[in-house]
Amino acid sequence: MRPYELSLAAAAEEIRARRLSPVELVDSVLDRIEQVEPHLGAYVAVTAERARRAAREAEQEAARGLHRGPLHGVPMGLKDLIDVAGLATTASSRVRADHRAQTDSTVAARLAAAGAILVGKTHTHEFAYGLTTPQTGNAWDRERVAGGSSGGSAVAVAAGAATFALGTDTGGSIRVPAALNGVVGLKPTYGLVPRHGVTSLSWSLDHVGPIARTVEDTALVLDALAGHDPRDPASLAAPAVDHRPGAGTDLAGLRVGVPRSYYFDHVDAEVEAAVRRAIGHLEALGARLVDVDIPMTRYLQATLWGLVAPEAAAYHEHSLRAVPELYQADVRVLLEAGELMTAGDYLRAQRSRTLMRREWARMLEEVDVIAAPTVPVTAVRADQETVTWPDGTVEGVPDAYVRLSAPANITGVPALSVPVGRDAAGLPIGMQLLGRPLGERTLLRVGHAYERTQPARALAPAV
């Protein structure tokens, strides 16, 4: 197995045991980037020389007996909304062409302190305002969408062009591309991971989280990220938790909620079958399945857009007036629409969210996790604009992809996407696990138990 093929946990063990040097691992990943990047377009910029210098420093530290932990010497990609001092934060937009970050974001600083090595900044749908990341091809079929807005991060991980990466998630932007590319993505509880130094889309919905190849890897990254930061007004002062899921696969006593409504409505038959098989496997591991009704579903879409649209328009107010021509057309239209929303609309969306959070809290008293599809359909072709369901309903591709992921952003609950198979075309399918606020350890335990009892997943061929 070549170094770039190693999971984070496996690479960490090899480095700790001095069987693999950070220099070898980083060189292997950079070689892989050179091989696949012309086909996939996952990166805005590759920081090869910076990465090689950091790898040599990590190797020297290891030789002196200084080991920073499981991320020591491990190569990562950062979504290009995340500030790294001295580097551009372009948000994949011409609007940011001349931007350079003056200081590290909190998450970049924490990862650097943990010994992780940046190999590049990954593409996002412009300013994270979209669900496809059009600059980037899907890791399994470059003619299909990568998902968004953290498409570059998910594709890089799926193709072996990063051992792990960070994304952001406002309506599904970590979980959607993770599902479409066959990797693991976690949207943590709102406020668990600080957002200082991260370009915002919607202040009250934005989350930062890891994308990795396995659930165990995801937990290792989360441990480095979580913790209070007073510079983020939403940051939680939560107690430190070891999120590593352990080796066990016994789920006896765990209650898994299976939605009777919403999450299996207008879902591709192959996606539904794969997710229901995975839920059945959780039952075989000892979990008890409990039917649940998802509350207030008719208000979900209106609440999401009632929050995102005016908050995004407020963030971009100055540049939208100064340089509107520099925005991509789809994003500019959304920002202009947000400026037309009234204060009353925004307040009604806030009230709806408050009621929704209360009802979800009641539902989550009855179960420990909810299991559902991450997205209703696998990766569509890049030129496909709509999805037509068997009953004749026509849905825009972005609306389809955001539909099942948005509830976790509105309510702030943690949500984990885990690969559970592929469709007849070989495209990945994801199952979403949702839990109580600060219930990441439970989600990771369930996802890890499922993953450990399934065949190992291969990297995407990517060429």
Q: pLDDT tens digits, residue range 190-235?
A: 999 999 999 999 999 999 999 999 999 999 999 999 999 999 999 9
Question: What pLDDT score was predicted for residue 238?
Answer: 85
With a cut of 70, which residues of the chain have pLDDT below it? Answer: 462-463
Set out the domains of the chain in order of their start, with CATH numbers: 3-298+346-452 (3.90.1300.10)
| pLDDT attached to residue 246 | 85
The whole-number pLDDT of residue 98 equals 87
How far is CA 126 from each of CA 81, 89, 176, 359, rounded to the nearest angstrom? 10, 12, 16, 33
Mean pLDDT computed over every residue of the chain: 97
Strand 43-46 and strand 386-388: the pairing is unpaired
pLDDT at 34: 98
Residue pLDDT, tens place only, 65-76 = 999 999 999 999
Q: pLDDT tens-digit profile of 375-394?
A: 999 999 999 999 999 999 99
Residue 239: predicted pLDDT: 86
| Residue positions annotated with a catalytic role | 79, 149, 173
